[in-house]
Amino acid sequence: MALAWVLTSVGVLVATVVVIWRWTRRGLNLPPGPRRWPVVGNLLQLSSLPHKDLAAYSAAYGPLAGRRFASRPRTLAAVHLAYGCGDVALAPLGPKWKRMRRICMEHLLTTRRLDAFAGHRAAEARHLVAEVRRRAAAGEAVNLREVLAAFSMNNSGAEEEALEFMEITHEMFRLLGMIYLGDYLPAWRWVDPFGCERKMREVERRIDDFHSRIIDQHKKKAREMSLQGAAPSCGEMDFVDVLLSLPGEDGKDHLDDVEIKALIQRSSATPGPPEGAGGARCRRGEGQASGGTDLAGLSYLRCVVRETFRMHPAGPFLIPHESTRPTKLLNYDVPAGTRVFINTYALGRNPRLWEDVDEFLPERHLPTAADGGRVEISHGPDFKILPFSAGKRKCPGAPLGWSSSSWRWPPSSSASTGSPPRASPGGHRHDGGLRDDDAQG
């Protein structure tokens, strides 16, 4: 009797949900797609590689291009991994996002500030070349993931810290790029069969501990300099120093630590091309590393970076967008609150946009007279690649991402004098750092 009552209750509940679901969508001309189930929609039709599934759907049903998708959804990954959606890239539209973006654009990512770091980047490039040559001379295998992580950390003497940072950042991007069922089916969070939310909490703790150590080190250095009556110059101040010097809200003398952590997380995690994505075929004289003044004139280098972003984006999807109001796209109705995923993996491998999509061909990006002789790293007017997104929510760290990426290639190329290592038992990876499990939900 009790079982019959439970089954009846469940049946009534499901029927009610179906009726409400259909009622709320009556009269709407929704975009085409595979047949949806009530409540779960198409979630159960996605495999462990959703970017490939959605690319297939796009080929079958056609693309959609739109606007009014400037806000961000409040996903569990953003809550756990971006200080409660406090990261400038993941914060929803509003005063907080505007303030965070203003800090980035006016204090962290100005041309003057980035130029002030040129000396540090040059020193790190020389250190990278020297380290690769040392290992090659000793007959050691060179792990590009390790040496480029140390280079990205901008600290020659902290390779272990650099590797820790790289590991945390890679895991953070993997979790942020997942389509997590718990965001759509709250009951899934109680089960969490793959331990996704547990991993988010673990990475959240590691990120916070790492950032706390960085901030404490800078506060200690600032106190020591203050006792000596010294003040750092613009060229000596890094991002953390700048943030510690800024006033906070509501009359506070300084930004609080959570705000600083959210800002340094985004500035330090600006996407660049992965280290396994093909080789840069640009060389200078033996033993020389390109300098900052060389980079602007290296059109082929810019082609290499652009082609790398096409084939191996930092993640298969851009950060999800969310419609702030009902709108129409290509005569289809898109309700308010709709989450929009932009598939950069599919965009870079679309045969309607690119020839030989699986070939690494930097020459395809060589400029023509119509381009004004300049190779555009970010999106152009055709939006054929979107390494840093576009529009109002474009990554404010795009100049830093390009600068860091371009500085990686020439030193690596000029230092590549060793022999390739023997094939490892696991074989050779051509996925540019994106494993098959990187997109699992």
**Residue 165 in tokens:** 């940072």
Residues 214 and 204: their CA atoms lie apart, in Å, by 16
85 annotated ligand binder: no
310 Rama class: left (phi>0) / alpha (psi -120 to 50) / beta = alpha
DSSP string, 67-123: ----B----HHHHHHTTTTTSTTTSPSSHHHHHHHHHIIIIIS-HHHHHHTHHHHHH
Residues 338 and 68: their CA atoms lie apart, in Å, by 11
Quick count: other Cβ atoms within 10 Å of Cβ 293?
8
What residues contact residue 15 under an 8 Å CB cut-off, 6+ apart?
Answer: none
Q: H or E element: which one contains 327?
A: strand 327-329
| Burial status of residue 89 (CB atoms within 10 A of its CB: 0-12, 13-18, 19 or more) | buried
Dihedral of CA atoms 431, 437, 439, 441 in degrees, nearest 10, equals: 180
What are the φ and ψ backbone dihedral angles of 102, each rounded to 5 degrees?
-65, -40
CA-nearest of 309, 293, 275 to 412 is 275
SS3 state at 279: coil
How do beta strands 339-340 and 321-322 pair? antiparallel
Are 65 and 340 contacting, i.e. CB atoms less than 8 angstroms apart? no
What residues contact residue 276 under an 8 Å CB cut-off, 6+ apart?
Answer: 144, 145, 312, 429, 430, 431, 432, 433
Cα 128-133-134 angle, rounded to 5 deg:
100
**Residue 361 in tokens:** 């061909």
**Which parts are annotated binding residues?**
395
* Binding-site annotation, residues for heme: 395
